[in-house]
Homo-oligomer: A and B are copies of this chain.
Amino acid sequence: MHQTQAYISSNKKRFLDELLDLLSIPSISADSSYNEHVEKCAKKLSKNLRKIGLSNVEIYSTAGHPIVYGEKIIDPKLPTVLIYGHYDVQPADPLDLWDSDPFNPVIRKTQLHPEGAIFARGACDDKGQMFMHVKAVEAMIASEELKCNVKFMIEGEEEVGSENLAIFVKNQKELLDADIILVSDTGMLANDVPSITTGLRGLSYVEVEVTGPNRDLHSGLYGGCVANPINILCDMISQLQNKDLSISIPGFYDQVINLSMEERNEMSKAPFSHDAYCKSIDINDTHGEKDFSTMERGSIRPTLDVNGIWGGYTGEGAKTVIPSKAYAKISMRLVPNQDPEEITRLFCDHFVSIAPDGVRVRVTPHHGGEPAVTPVDSTGYQAASYAYEKSFGKKPIPVRSGGSIPIIAMFEKELGLKTVLMGFGLDSDAIHSPNEHYGLFNFYKGIETIPYFFESFSQLSK
């Protein structure tokens, strides 16, 4: 990859300018008044894909925003890497908290980015990270060092749920035929601590309603005699966890694939400061399932959190009421190989079963999402690991993320493909927040790292 790296080195300025150009388009997918900008961004992107030498470049329209596609087929017999990314961005509100115009990108130095960072909406999520792949592929094509096929699928609705992408993927299985999916839409631990996200948690989300008497009652006259829906709801929520803070729903852990000690040992190498963690959110201690570290609790273990609760009198002062109803929103983060629908069913059955006489319970499921995992012994992970080691000079740490990206599971289900998550962002990059930025170091390092992935993946897939 000498030619490729040399090409990258001598085109850095232009790569940056092209990214800044993309960032100046307010391609906000959630707000229909920006529709023409979203379309403009898709067009500019497709033009760039054509310019770097891809064929079959096309803007596929959907019921929502279009999907940009392009490919470079060296030889149908060679392995194919499908690159996924998105060109749409989050809204920029609240605008007054930005130090500069979110769609007029500027470079400023920060403590974590002494070489400078690009401040703009979408800088990290995901235009900056997606565009690294476009430029890395350009460099490989120009240097004639691309040793496998590559396909790009860049959508415009990631920030609004990727509904039309799911339809596109179902309908275009032949077009999207590949050996691995490569995505840069996550982060790494630090600029000197490369890491690869090997897992994402799934999600089951329910709303519960506990009904006691058919009307609000006076707590003096009825207090002590009837089941108070709030007390009952609290009691039922409390019962959902055991003393060791594991989850008490029967069957909840049945499908969980426990990590090997080797994998856990590998994970534990990630730098983690308990004190810094607590200090950053002003708590005096962490709190979680017995016998697991904080990093593990937040990634390889399923959880149960109440996201909202309400019932009775919540105004100023005191009112002595026993309310008729109490409500809560409860979500469970799931790990491989838990099935969200199955978990939701287990929750419903259990929750209804622990309701005492005197109340009625209703559970309403909200959306869910499947967990995803990239085994560290897979070809994709090995290739990514090689790539990071080559460009950073040290082996990356496999990291399980606590969050959920449901499309990753959808890719696996529809296309039968594993995804490698080569993220280069930092947690401090303020994605979805004012002053989103992306380090120049990260942008260039990403472009330099990606070709090594292609190199290794071609080799290992032989």
**Which A residues are within 8 Å of any B CB, using their own CB?**
201, 203, 205, 207, 212-215, 217-228, 230-231, 233-235, 237-239, 241, 281-289, 294, 297-298, 301-314, 317-323, 326-329, 331, 333, 356-359, 366-367, 401-404
Q: How far is the CB of A286 from chain B (nearest CB, A)?
A: 6
**Copies of this chain per assembly:** 2
Is A221 in contact with B322, judged by CB distance below 8 angstroms? Answer: no
**What residues of chain B lie closer than 8 Å to A357, measured between beta carbons?**
284-285, 287
**What residues of chain B lie closer than 8 Å to A356, measured between beta carbons?**
287
Give Cα distance in the complex from A403 to B222, angstroms.
Answer: 9
**What residues of chain B lie closer than 8 Å to A285, measured between beta carbons?**
357-358
Q: Which of B238, B297, B323 contacts A235 (CB 8 A)?
A: B238
28 contacts between A and B (CB under 8 A): A203-B320, A217-B281, A218-B403, A221-B403, A222-B281, A223-B298, A223-B305, A223-B331, A223-B402, A224-B289, A224-B297, A224-B303, A226-B288, A228-B305, A231-B305, A233-B234, A234-B238, A238-B238, A283-B358, A307-B313, A307-B321, A308-B312, A308-B321, A309-B312, A310-B314, A313-B329, A314-B329, A318-B366
Is B333 in contact with A329, judged by CB distance below 8 angstroms? Answer: no
**What residues of chain B lie closer than 8 Å to A313, measured between beta carbons?**
307-308, 329
**What residues of chain B lie closer than 8 Å to A294, measured between beta carbons?**
225
Is B288 in contact with A225, judged by CB distance below 8 angstroms? Answer: yes
**What residues of chain B lie closer than 8 Å to A312, measured between beta carbons?**
306-309, 329
A306 and B228 contact, Cβ closer than 8 Å, known pairs A357-B285, A357-B287: yes
Is B331 in contact with A318, judged by CB distance below 8 angstroms? Answer: yes
**What residues of chain B lie closer than 8 Å to A281, measured between beta carbons?**
213-215, 217, 222, 226
A282 and B214 contact, Cβ closer than 8 Å, known pairs A241-B231, A308-B312: yes
